[in-house]
Amino acid sequence: MSIDYKAEIERMKHELDVTVVAHFYQRDEVFDMADITGDSLELARRCQADKNPWVVFCGVGFMGQSVKVIAPEKRVLMPKIACCAMARMIDGSYFDDSVNYMVERGIAKEDILPITYINSDATVKSKVGEMGGMVCTSSNAFKIIEKGLESGKKILFVPDRCLGQNFAIQMGLKSCVIGEGECDPKEADVICFNGFCSVHQLFTLDDIEFYRNKYPGIKIAVHPECDPKIVLAADFSGSTSQLIKYVSELDPEEKVAVGTEYNLVNRMRKKNTYVLSSTKPECPTMNETTLEDLYLTLKSIEDGQPINEIVVDEHTAKWANIALQRMLEIR
């Protein structure tokens, strides 16, 4: 007899005191089973406030890891410890190299304030925390950079060059990207690491032109992980939650093309919403988690042999938590 995964997941969630968490980019079958959904910032805040001892996190590695760092008393499991490709573009030594790049060009280490996008490993967050820096997400980057600037220091922004540049443009700041042309830290306010999201690089000016020609007056809404020229050409840019809000507040007859991950755009609203790309912008690792994986993870708790548990060493967790808490304190 085949297993009714949905019924079994519901039963185990309640019997075992487990909270299932899912990011918006998860497949519908997984997303529908979640108790907590949201953008990266909302997930971090709501998991911290949640009372259950177990969290099963459906998303990518840095997300589950952030919950473990903020709430170390919780047991955090991931059906798949799938990696965010952008988060994997930087590690501790690449972070140190970026700091050294600035130091070699005349900026004292004490005059650098690092900010890391939440899409990074705990080791990077920890190094950022030790240098007095903070974490940010796509929904609060403006406020976090603004706060960082109060220190009078240069901002080292890692790992997403697009997010760093997009917010620098919004704030009227000068930015440059290490490894791209002449990046002189003395001339810039925000110095960006050269990381990016391959999914959000798919959206092009040709895509925008195609939709504007086909449907005059169509709105274009994109995630700030898109290239700055895409964000500048769009009508709106925001985090996944902000994109959902923007689209839901449009008149139902108004057309909108959205530049972010396929599962989310497909779920937004059935009528008059288009994916801003001729190829399917699927985040491969977000899509790895299946309903069966979720079932097997809960079953492993029931059987007393939890699988894929997130572990972060004490030193890393301490400083990564400090960097995350500095962010969470800013409203």
Binding site residues, ligand SF4, CB under 6 A = 60, 84-86, 119, 197, 199, 225, 261, 283, 286
Total residues contacting ligand 13P by CB under 6 A comes to: 10
Residue closer to ligand SF4, measured from CB, 136 or 197: 197
Shortest separation between residue 108's beta carbon and ligand SF4, angstroms: 32
Does residue number 66 form part of the binding site for ligand 13P (CB under 6 A)? Answer: no
Neighbouring residues of 30: CB distance < 8 A, sequence distance ≥ 6: 22, 58, 79, 289, 290, 291, 294
Asked, as a colleague might, if the bond just before 306 is cis with ω within 30 of 0, I would say no
CB 190 within 8 A of CB 157: yes
CA distances from 207 to 142, 210, 216, 230, 253 (A): 27, 5, 14, 10, 21
Q: In this complex, which beta carbon is closest to ligand SF4, that of residue 159 or of residue 185?
A: 159
Instruction: Compute the residue count for the chain.
Output: 331
Residue 316 interacts, among ligand 13P, ligand SF4, none and using kind-specific CB cut-offs from 5 to 8 Å, with none
Is residue 307 a contact partner of residue 79, using CB atoms and an 8 Å limit?
A: no
Q: Which is nearer to ligand SF4, 130 or 288 (CB)?
A: 288
Residues 155-194 as x/- pattern, contact with ligand 13P by CB under 6 A: ----------------------------------------
- The reply on whether position 285 binds ligand 13P by CB under 6 A is no
Q: Between vectors from CA 255 to CA 224 and to CA 30, what angle results, nearest 5°? A: 60
Contact indicator for 255, 217 with CB cutoff of 8 Å: yes
Q: Calculate the dihedral angle through the C-alpha atoms of 93, 97, 99, 104, rounding to the nearest 10 degrees.
A: 150
| Of residues 138 and 204, the one with the C-beta less far from ligand 13P | 138
Q: Can residue 207 be called a binding residue for ligand 13P (CB under 6 A)?
A: no
- Is residue 123 a contact residue for ligand 13P (CB under 6 A)? no
**Considering only residues 237-276, where is the footprint of ligand 13P by CB under 6 A?**
239-240
- What is the nearest approach in angstroms of ligand SF4 to the Cβ of residue 262? 10
What does 85 interact with, of ligand SF4, ligand 13P, none (CB < 5 to 8 A by kind)?
Answer: ligand SF4
Parallel, antiparallel or unpaired: strands 236-237 and 18-23? unpaired
Query: Binding ligand 13P by CB under 6 A: which of 137, 166, 289, 316?
Result: 137
Write phi, then psi, for 293 (nearest 5 degrees).
-60, -45
258 binds, among ligand 13P, ligand SF4, none (CB under 5 to 8 A by kind): none
120 binds ligand 13P (CB under 6 A): no
Q: Which does 141 bind (CB under 5 to 8 A by kind): ligand SF4, ligand 13P, none?
A: none
If the CB atoms of residues 67 and 183 are measured against ligand 13P, the closer one turns out to be 67
Question: Residue 250: which of 222, 227, 271 has the closest Cα?
Answer: 271
The 3-state DSSP class for residue 68 equals: helix
185 vs 195, beta carbon nearer ligand SF4:
195
In order of 10, 86, 295, 326, the CA distances from 291 in angstroms are 12, 25, 6, 35
Smallest distance, ligand SF4 to C-beta of residue 223, A:
8
- Look up tokens 């699988």; give the residue: 307
φ, ψ (nearest 5 deg) of residue 100: -65, -35
What is the CA angle 272-273-279, rounded to 5? Answer: 130
Provide the binding-site residues for ligand 13P, judged by CB under 6 A.
39-40, 119, 137-138, 197, 223, 225, 239-240
